[in-house]
Amino acid sequence: MTQKSNPNPTAALVEVAKIIEIELDTCIKKCNLPQHLEEAASYAVVNGGKRVRPALTLLCSEAVGGTLDQAMPSAIAVELIHCFSLVHDDLPAIDNDALRRGKPTLHVKSGEAMAILAGDLLLPVAFSQLICEQYSHEQQARLTKLLATATSDMVVGQVYDTIGGLPEHLDALQQLEEIHRNKTGALIRSACQMGAVCGNATPEEFEAISTFGSATGLMFQIVDDLIDLHGSAELVGKATGKDEEAGKTTYPGTIGVEASKLAVKDLQKQAETAISSLNGDAETLSSFNVWMAQRTR
Ligand code: GRG
């Protein structure tokens, strides 16, 4: 994998996504699982997701002068947590979705019990990635803490979004931010911070990457809401228009479509500014940030 300034960032991103897919496949196979559980876990993980979170981990490591290889176990850990959350999110008791990444959801394919259990399995497998020779004990502790905090924040966000219980003193926009800062933003931010830890970032660099991660995490959700409103199910690989149908609070629903698009532009700029003075190669990270603002799936 190249570490120098990259003349073709798009090709680099495609390469990064391919490598992540291979690493995820290897990781599940190494678990030595009974065949039906291995099939279910692979189905949940190795299935053409966009790999946004692990790509951020790798690229944030690169942006502070680290290597992609050093960041790989963390990238895999973050993506396993994400895949776990998608399997459980799709379950009948939560979002009750039949389609994910263009294919039947795991509970539709293998039954609810297997979907719950295969999802459960991904949690310990994720954390065990962080216990490896590549990381010092201090790094292992910091990475574990970051991932654990983001995972519990994600559950909090999911509870707010599906069950409720948001602090009542917050206005509509603040409530929306509170849901998404937890549900989607926390894991994206920690994906970035973990990359910084893997790349031995200075405290200032860690701060800059954290600012980048907060901005890009919120931006990701606003783009997601816009895609749910206007995108095609075929392109997105899951049902669209579900938010409106379920009466969910969304950015376009709360502040309007045009204001949501402006917010995306503003957050993209904030993220860009945060990484403008990093010591490593932030070119691919910067291109990825642009792609995240413009994505249609
Ligand atoms: C304890 C890990 C755990 C989970 C239980 C179900 C749950 C609590 C949390 C769900 C959180 C959730 C589903 C957030 C949605 C985030 C989101 C926008 C997902 C779509 O992400 P993409 O577009 O998907 O990156 P791909 O398929 O590309 O990976």
Q: What domains can you pick out in the chain, each with its CATH number?
A: 9-294 (1.10.600.10)
Q: Is the CB of 281 under 6 A from ligand 1?
A: no
Q: Are 79 and 69 in contact (CB under 8 A)?
A: no
36 CA → ligand 1 middle, Å: 23
pLDDT in tens, the chain (297 residues): 433 445 566 787 888 899 999 999 999 999 999 999 999 999 999 988 999 999 999 999 999 999 999 999 999 999 999 999 999 999 999 999 999 988 999 999 999 999 999 999 999 999 999 999 999 999 999 999 999 999 999 999 999 999 999 999 999 999 999 999 999 999 999 999 999 999 999 999 999 999 999 999 999 999 999 998 887 666 566 666 666 666 677 899 999 999 999 999 999 999 999 999 897 889 999 999 999 999 888
Sort residue 203 into left (φ over 0), alpha (ψ -120 to 50) or beta.
Answer: alpha
What's the CA gap between 217 and 199, in Å, rounded? 20
Give just the sign of the alpha carbon dihedral 137, 140, 143, 147. negative
Residue nearest to atom 10 of ligand 1 (CA): 85
Residue nearest to atom 16 of ligand 1 (CA): 184
pTM given for the model: 0.93
State the pLDDT at residue 55: 96
158 CA → ligand 1 middle, Å: 9
State the pLDDT at residue 280: 80
Q: Is the CB of 88 under 6 A from ligand 1?
A: yes
Distances (CA, A) of 118 to 22, 24, 68: 19, 15, 28
Q: Is the CB of 224 under 6 A from ligand 1?
A: yes
State the pLDDT at residue 2: 37
State the pLDDT at residue 4: 43
Residues with Cβ within 8 Å of 263's Cβ and at least 6 positions away in sequence, in order, are 219, 222, 251, 255
State the pLDDT at residue 1: 41
Q: Which atom of ligand 1 is nearest to the CA of 83?
A: 29
What's the CA gap between 6 and 224, in Å, rounded? 28
155 CA → ligand 1 middle, Å: 10
Runs of H (alpha helix) within 166-202:
172-180, 186-198
